[in-house]
Homo-oligomer: A and B are copies of this chain.
Amino acid sequence: MSRPLSKRSGDAAIAAVALDPAAESPLHVQLASQLRQLILSRRLQAGARLPSSRQFAQELSVSRSTVVTAFDQLASEGYCEGRHGSGVYVTADLPEHALEIAASPAAARSEPMPAHPMPVRPFQVAAPDLSLFPHEDWGRLAWKIWRAPDPDLLATADPMGWLPLRRAIADHLAAARGLACHAGQILVTSGIGEAIAITAQALFRRGDRIWVEDPGYPLLLRALSLAGLRVAPVAVDANGLMLERLRGKAAAVAVTPSRHYPLGMTMPVQRRLELIARAEAMAGWIIEDDYDSEFRYRGRPLPALMSLDPNGRTLYLGSFSKVISPAMRLSFLVVPDRLAQRFATTIAQLGAKASLMPQPVLAEFMASGQFGSHIRRMRRIYARRQAALIEAARRHLSGLAEIEPQPSGMHVIARLTLPHMTDAEASRRAEAAGLVAPALSSYAMHARRERGLVLGYAAFSEAEIESAIVALAGALRS
């Protein structure tokens, strides 16, 4: 979360304020709004004294009456109070709830709300290197398609998504994930949250229990919780979710079998088959989240778990966030054939959320082969970056942390070897040094908390990685 601006945070408040005289909203509204946000985010702390209206007026080149009006507004809302003869203070006893937000605890821990837009910093996880995306090609395709759109793009749209894109996804899944499916089983969604919400509406009742991996993927856990489902954490071992730990009943189990998040192991075929049998026996469902299987550097990937399921009990989640860009907000959901009609009805009822604008562009990008060559190119680059990170860690993190190479994905785990430091503390130190390195323990619910940092490397040049590792070493040693 945001940190206080300074001990005497009031004095720093002026520096954090930026008024725009050209903006639609009056200056006093802008000022009040920005101070309110500083208070709500606790960057201006309870009890802090605000600079005088004269100081504000001078620094911001606005009239004193503008500042006084903003102060009055905030006072009337209870955010601050004048004390006779001594200036204006942030209210000392702002109720806690005014300052808090509700979130699922796991989500809240691992995903603080950033200021926006926020540049991608090392070692941000799950961030592709968008500077290497073929923007020129993408832009040209967008122009070609939208300057004279196919009449079907102007008709009442299919809520399941643009058909040529769903066909291209089916082809991609057959080739890359050994998954035979057809466009009628594929729904284009705006992200994992929508995919899970549709699934919950179609298959589950509010409060249904869903087994999840512990530690687990925060986005998936959050989506399940927001859809009104109860997540029941299940420990993992070197082969993924431990089936012998499944107790009682659940409506579904959600797994990342290609590459466990965040630990990186693959669920072997034998366990996949056992999980499939287990789902069939309890008439439950398997949600397979295949969040970054495109980036595999060594060996052949196992086919998708869904491809092994003869019972039609597996749903498959995929995303274009990492292979195209998170900005497009395009994900997809593959459902068993026998559920296709039910899911078509459900997404029509809930209302489609994925914009059509990027869909035909992506469809052509995939059909033309540009998608495949972009993935192959990024795979080579990301492999070199992982190697650079491991090499830099060998030189600079000795005695502090150890990193094992990973055959796939966009991040590694740095397991702490220095004694007496929690990974939460290590993560805080990294943050203070301008780095992003979530603590491994922050992904755990009840699991034994291993000490480690999750380091993404995909978005950073080898030189950036080197200096970020040096900075991390300094932060851990200091």
Q: Are A155 and B119 within 8 A (Cβ)? A: yes
Q: Are B156 and A117 within 8 A (Cβ)? A: yes
Q: Are A349 and B101 within 8 A (Cβ)? A: yes
Q: What are 25 pairs between A and B in contact, CB < 8 Å? A: A1-B204, A1-B205, A24-B167, A25-B170, A25-B181, A30-B182, A33-B182, A33-B184, A33-B340, A36-B338, A37-B184, A101-B349, A116-B155, A119-B155, A135-B146, A140-B147, A142-B357, A143-B143, A193-B350, A193-B351, A193-B353, A194-B353, A226-B349, A328-B357, A355-B355
Q: Are A327 and B357 within 8 A (Cβ)? A: yes
Partner of A348, one of B32, B113, B117, B159: B113
Q: Flag A139-157 by CB within 8 Å of B: 1 or 0 each.
A: 1101111111101111111
Q: Are A158 and B24 within 8 A (Cβ)? A: no
- Least distance between A351 CB and chain B CB atoms (Å): 4
- Which residues of chain B come closer than 8 Å to A193, judged between CB atoms? 350-351, 353
Separation of A41 and B202 alpha carbons in the complex (Å): 11
Q: Flag A216-256 by CB within 8 Å of B: 1 or 0 each.
A: 00010011001000000000000000000000000000000
Q: Are B116 and A135 within 8 A (Cβ)? A: no
- Least distance between A143 CB and chain B CB atoms (Å): 3
Separation of A32 and B120 alpha carbons in the complex (Å): 48
- Which residues of chain B come closer than 8 Å to A157, judged between CB atoms? 116-117, 326-327
- Least distance between A403 CB and chain B CB atoms (Å): 24
Q: Are B24 and A170 within 8 A (Cβ)? A: yes
- Least distance between A180 CB and chain B CB atoms (Å): 7
* Residues of A101-140 contacting chain B, CB below 8 A: 101-103, 107, 111, 113-114, 116-120, 124, 127, 130-131, 135-136, 138-140
If the complex has contacts A327-B154, A358-B357, are A148 and B120 also in contact, measured as CB distance less than 8 A?
no
- Which residues of chain B come closer than 8 Å to A167, judged between CB atoms? 23-24
Partner of A29, one of B124, B182, B192, B355: B182
- Which residues of chain B come closer than 8 Å to A192, judged between CB atoms? 351
Separation of A43 and B149 alpha carbons in the complex (Å): 32
Q: Are B174 and A149 within 8 A (Cβ)? A: no
Q: Are A337 and B116 within 8 A (Cβ)? A: no
- Which residues of chain B come closer than 8 Å to A191, judged between CB atoms? 351, 353
The answer to the question of A467 belonging to the interface, with a C-beta cut-off of 8 Å to chain B, is: no
Separation of A166 and B307 alpha carbons in the complex (Å): 44
Q: Are A77 and B338 within 8 A (Cβ)? A: yes
| New contact pairs (11) apart from A33-B184, A142-B146, CB-CB < 8 Å | A23-B167, A24-B180, A36-B337, A37-B341, A117-B153, A135-B146, A142-B143, A156-B326, A190-B190, A190-B355, A223-B351
- Least distance between A24 CB and chain B CB atoms (Å): 5
- Which residues of chain B come closer than 8 Å to A201, judged between CB atoms? 101
Q: Are A120 and B355 within 8 A (Cβ)? A: no
Q: Flag A17-37 by CB within 8 Å of B: 1 or 0 each.
A: 000000111100110110011
Q: Are B154 and A116 within 8 A (Cβ)? A: no
Q: Are B138 and A147 within 8 A (Cβ)? A: yes
Q: Are A353 and B356 within 8 A (Cβ)? A: no
